[in-house]
Structure 1
Amino acid sequence: MSAHPTGPRVDTLVDAARSRLVRVTPEQAAHAVTYELALLVDTRPAEDRARYGTIPGALVVDRNVLEWRLDPTSPHRLEQADDPRRTVIVFCNEGYASSLAAASLRDLGLVNATDLVGGFHAWAAAGLPVAGPHAAA
C-alpha cells in the first residue's frame, strides 16, 4: 500500500485555481479598492493579523465562512456583498490559500473574484498602508 495519496496534490489544485483568476499585484489591488470599489478581504487567522498587522479598510472574513458572507444570495452575507459582478480581492499571508478561496467564490458566481499575488506580505513589502505590528518594522 502506497503512503502517497492518489488524487491531485495541493500544488495542482492551486495551479488550477490560479488558471481561472486574473490575479492582482498589491499596487493593482490598492488602485481597485480606491477607484473601483473593489472589496479587499482578509482571510488570515486572528493570530496572523495580530502578529503582522492588517490592511486598513480590508474586510476580515474567516475562511470557514467566506462563501456564506460573500455570496450575494446568502441570507448570511455581508452588506458589502451586494453584487456578483463586484471585484472581490481575497488575501492570505502569501497568496496560496487565497487562490483557492477566490476560485471557490468564482464557483459561486462572483465573476470578478480574485486574489492578491504574494498576499499580505507582498502588500507590506510594497510599502502600502499597514496598521499594527508590521507597520513599525
Structure 2
Amino acid sequence: MKTPDQLISEAKNQIVEISVEKLYEEYLKHPDLILIDVREPEEYQAASIDRAVNFPRGMLEMKIAQHPVVNHHCDLELALKELSEKNIYLICGTGARSSLATLALQNMGFMKLYSVQGGMQAWIAAGLPTISYLN
C-alpha cells in the first residue's frame, strides 16, 4: 500500500513542474494560455487566477474536452487532439493535486503539461494577482 505522499512523489518524478514566477511570465506573454485549476469550486471561487478554468481533480479526465479552447468541436477525438498540442498548465492549492492531475493527463496522451510548484499557496505568497468570485 502506498501513502498519498508516495503517490505524489512518484507523480512528480514523471512530470514537469514550473515555478509560479515562470507561470506568471508565460501568463503575461500569452493571453490564450491554458490554465486549469484542479481545486474544488469553493477553493477556486475564494481566490483564483484570472482566465483559469476550474476542472476539479475528480472530474478532470471527463471534463478536459469541454475546455473553452476546444469545446466547439463535435468530435471528441479531434477536440482532445487539438488540445493535446497546446501547452497546458495545472494548478491546485499546494502542487500535490496538480501533480497527480498532470500525470493523469499524460496517461491520456497529453504531452505539453506543466504542474505549478507550490500551487496557489506559492502564487499568493509571491504576491501575484488573484481574483475572487465571493462577495
User: TM-score if structure 1 supplies the norm length?
Assistant: 0.78
Which amino acid in 1 is paired with 2:9? D
Q: Could you tell me how far apart the structure 2 residues matched to 1:27 and 1:39 are?
A: 16
Give the match for residue 16 of structure 1.
Answer: 10
Give the match for residue 4 of structure 1.
Answer: none
Is 1:80 equivalent to 2:69 in the alignment?
Answer: yes
Q: Could you tell me how far apart the structure 1 residues matched to 2:66 and 2:44 are?
A: 22
State the SS of the aligned residue for 1:83.
Answer: helix
User: 8 Å contact 2:50–2:131 — kept in the other structure?
Assistant: yes
Give the match for residue 26 of structure 1.
Answer: 20
State the SS of the aligned residue for 1:90.
Answer: strand
User: 8 Å contact 2:36–2:54 — kept in the other structure?
Assistant: yes
| Number of residue-to-residue matches in the alignment | 121
Give the match for residue 118 of structure 1.
Answer: 118
Q: Which runs of 5+ in 2 are unaligned?
A: 71-81
User: 8 Å contact 1:103–1:114 — kept in the other structure?
Assistant: no
Larger Cα Rg: Structure 1 or Structure 2?
Answer: 1
Matched ranges for 1:64-103 at <5 A? 64-70=58-64, 76-81=65-70, 82-103=82-103
The CA deviation at 1:63 is 1.9
Larger helix proportion of the pair: 2
Q: Percent identity?
A: 26
**CA shift in 2, pair 1:35/1:93, >3 Å:** same
Give the match for residue 73 of structure 1.
Answer: none
User: 8 Å contact 2:35–2:88 — kept in the other structure?
Assistant: yes
Q: Which runs of 5+ in 1 are unaligned?
A: 1-6, 71-75
- Summarize deviations over 1:5-59 as a string: whole Å, max 9, x none: xx222211111111111101111112223335431111111222344x1111111
Matched ranges for 1:51-62 at <5 A? 51=46, 53-62=47-56
The CA deviation at 1:67 is 1.3
User: TM-score if structure 2 supplies the norm length?
Assistant: 0.79
Is 1:40 equivalent to 2:35 in the alignment?
Answer: yes
